[in-house]
């Protein structure tokens, strides 16, 4: 059996992954708070853990792997969106979940086996909160229930932060009912305008962190294999999850492996609405960037390193994928190439797996490229974006005239003019593919606009 090695945030090193039970391997990943479209950074986490899901299924068998990813459908951001729009909260969350599933599906992400919604687990959250109070790890105060951080001696072990650093990083709420500034909310009161449920502490709603602990225990028990998410969740969310779960169920070990993907930038800068470089997945899809291309770019950087999304990377990915699609269009899947599997099994080295696909494509091994691509989430049966688009005869005459002008410029060694013609074609959505012998071919892409041909 293929040996899998993964970087374990808990131990800060790469370790051989050994499931607790090879017949019942369990992975939980923190999902979205459903009040708006998923942005590109959200998509990176989805694609990373989808790749891990595919690896685990390949090695242990699909029937032996359970992947859970939650929806946070009770949150102050959702409440604020409802108040601002006058819409019912349930309508907002249902719509947003539909958007999320559609957008992640466009990236070829497999659906998790379990997709629990927080509002379906309020009873379990109340039960866990009561248990933490009974064991001396939480206390009620002014309609709130707070976790007593000082009762958990290992608090901070996952992130490796000191208490002072954690206070600064968490921007902790200063409240008179807290015994310690680091204590965090398990339950809080609701007013008449805010969703709430009856509880021993009055009508209220759960804090953010308790929901994942309750849902994980309901589905996976007190010990399971892998917990994942973006590294922005490491503290305070994941740190608080560990504290709650380990104190409520000291007989277990909670997650054996913790995995976190690094953050994403756009054109070398932090993604920010104020900088105008904030993209949702839907924004890119509407710009005619295929989901398969987005996935390729996301897999081109190791999940443990910061990733920079650039238009050049997207253009290069589209070019590569078109060539691969053309190569495999009549291929039949072979056994998965061992080097591709070994790369992904080595801490999800997807860039290495893509380089191996380049080697297989260069060797003309279409069957192996098809098998590897399907393993990595490419070459779906209904994927046709790569096929050349048809244009009218008169438009193609204009395209051919520009190709001829470019060829003449290259013959005269006027490379500036040749590059300018190529840029003109690219701006109109025409990709130029140079062939052996100095010939060139025009590929009409999804973004084609004949009015920009000049």
Instruction: Please name the residue that has the structure tokens 């050349």.
Output: 388
**How far is it, in rounded angstroms, from Cα 36 to Cα 254?**
30
Which residue from 137, 135, 134 is spatially nearest to 150, judged by alpha carbons? 137
The one-character DSSP state at 190 is: -
Helix (H) or strand (E) holding 85, with range, is helix 76-85
Helix (H) or strand (E) holding 404, with range, is helix 393-411
* Structure confidence at residue 381 (pLDDT): 86
What are the pLDDT digits (tens) for 217-240? 999 999 999 999 999 999 999 999
What are the pLDDT digits (tens) for 97-146? 999 999 999 999 999 999 999 999 999 999 999 999 999 999 999 999 99
Contact assessment for residue 259 and residue 226, using Cβ atoms and an 8 Å cutoff: yes
Which of 262-276, 339-353, 408-422, 433-447 is predicted least confidently? 433-447
* Structure confidence at residue 37 (pLDDT): 96
* Residues pairing with 26 in the sheet: 66
| Domain formed by 8-261, architecture | 3-Layer(aba) Sandwich (3.40)
**How far is it, in rounded angstroms, from Cα 344 to Cα 351?**
9
* Structure confidence at residue 239 (pLDDT): 96
Confidence class for position 363, pLDDT limits 50, 70, 90: very high
Confidence class for position 23, pLDDT limits 50, 70, 90: very high
The domain segmentation of the chain, as residue ranges, is 8-261, 265-376, 393-452
**How far is it, in rounded angstroms, from Cα 358 to Cα 307?**
21
**How far is it, in rounded angstroms, from Cα 395 to Cα 413?**
27
Confidence class for position 210, pLDDT limits 50, 70, 90: very high
Contact assessment for residue 59 and residue 5, using Cβ atoms and an 8 Å cutoff: no
Q: Which residues contact 305 (CB under 8 A, 6 or more apart)?
A: 262
Instruction: Please name the residue that has the structure tokens 């390729």.
Output: 296
Contact assessment for residue 271 and residue 264, using Cβ atoms and an 8 Å cutoff: yes
What are the pLDDT digits (tens) for 299-322? 999 999 999 999 999 999 999 999
Q: Which residues contact 108 (CB under 8 A, 6 or more apart)?
A: 50, 291, 292, 295, 377, 378, 380
142 HSE (CA, 13 A, CB side): 6
pTM check: above 0.85: yes
* Residues recorded for the chain: 454
271 HSE (CA, 13 A, CB side): 16
What are the pLDDT digits (tens) for 230-269? 999 999 999 999 999 999 999 999 999 999 999 999 988 8
Give the CA distances from residue 135 to residues 105, 148, 181, in Å, rounded to whole numbers and listed in that order.
43, 11, 21
**What is the distance, to the nearest Å, from the Cα of residue 103 to the centroid of all Cα atoms in its chain?**
11
**How far is it, in rounded angstroms, from Cα 339 to Cα 369?**
12
* Residue 316, SS3 per DSSP: helix
**If you average pLDDT over residues 316-329, what whole number do you get?**
95
The rounded mean pLDDT for the chain is 93
* Structure confidence at residue 453 (pLDDT): 82
pLDDT of residue 346 exceeding 90, the answer is yes
In 143-244 the beta strands, taken as DSSP E runs, fall at: 144-147, 184-189, 204-206, 223-230
Which residue from 88, 80, 74 is spatially nearest to 34, judged by alpha carbons? 74
Give the CA distances from residue 37 to residues 99, 273, 287, 413, in Å, rounded to whole numbers and listed in that order.
7, 14, 15, 48
Instruction: Please name the residue that has the structure tokens 């994927």.
Output: 383
**How far is it, in rounded angstroms, from Cα 229 to Cα 227?**
7
* Residue 134, SS3 per DSSP: helix
pLDDT of residue 180 exceeding 60, the answer is yes
* Residue 72, SS3 per DSSP: strand
Confidence class for position 166, pLDDT limits 50, 70, 90: low
């Amino acid at each position: 059996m293929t040996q899998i090695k993964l970087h374990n945030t808990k131990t800060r090193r790469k370790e051989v992954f050994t499931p607790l039970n090879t017949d019942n391997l369990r992975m939980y990943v923190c999902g979205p708070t459903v009040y708006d479209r998923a942005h590109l950074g959200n998509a990176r986490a989805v694609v990373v853990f989808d790749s891990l899901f595919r690896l685990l299924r390949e090695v242990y068998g699909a029937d032996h792997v359970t992947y859970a990813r939650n929806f946070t459908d009770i949150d102050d951001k959702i409440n604020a969106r409802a108040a601002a729009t006058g819409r019912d909260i349930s309508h907002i969350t249902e719509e947003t979940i539909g958007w999320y599933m559609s957008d992640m599906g466009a990236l070829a992400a497999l659906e998790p086996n379990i997709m629990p919604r927080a509002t379906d687990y309020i009873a379990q959250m109340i039960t866990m909160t009561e248990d933490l109070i009974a064991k001396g790890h939480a206390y009620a105060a002014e309609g709130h229930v707070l976790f007593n951080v000082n009762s958990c001696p290992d608090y901070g072990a996952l992130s490796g932060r000191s208490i002072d650093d954690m206070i600064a990083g968490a921007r902790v709420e200063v409240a008179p009912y807290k015994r310690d500034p680091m204590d965090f909310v398990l339950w809080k009161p609701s007013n008449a305008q805010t969703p709430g449920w009856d509880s021993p502490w009055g009508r209220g709603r759960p804090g953010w962190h308790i929901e994942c602990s309750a849902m994980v225990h309901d589905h996976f028990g007190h010990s399971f294999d892998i917990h994942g998410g973006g590294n922005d969740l490491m503290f305070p969310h994941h740190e608080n999850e560990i504290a709650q779960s380990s104190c409520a169920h000291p007989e277990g070990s909670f997650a054996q492996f913790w995995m976190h993907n690094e953050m994403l930038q756009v054109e070398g800068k932090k993604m920010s609405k104020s900088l105008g470089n904030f993209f949702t997945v839907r924004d890119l899809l509407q710009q005619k960037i295929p989901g398969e291309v987005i996935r390729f770019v996301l897999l081109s950087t190791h999940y443990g390193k910061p990733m920079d999304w650039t238009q050049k990377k997207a253009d290069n990915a589209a070019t590569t994928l078109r060539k691969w699609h053309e190569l495999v269009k009549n291929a039949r899947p072979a056994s998965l190439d061992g080097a591709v599997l070994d790369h992904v099994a080595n801490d999800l080295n997807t860039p290495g797996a893509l380089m191996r696909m380049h080697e297989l494509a260069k060797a003309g091994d279409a069957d192996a490229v098809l098998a590897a691509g399907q393993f990595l989430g490419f070459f779906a049966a209904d994927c046709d974006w790569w096929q050349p688009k048809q244009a009218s005869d008169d438009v193609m005459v204009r395209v051919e005239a520009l190709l001829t002008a470019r060829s003449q410029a290259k013959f005269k060694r006027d490379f500036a003019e040749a590059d300018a013609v190529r840029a003109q074609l690219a701006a109109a959505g025409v990709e130029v593919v140079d062939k052996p012998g100095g010939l060139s071919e025009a590929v009409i892409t999804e973004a084609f606009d004949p009015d920009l041909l000049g």
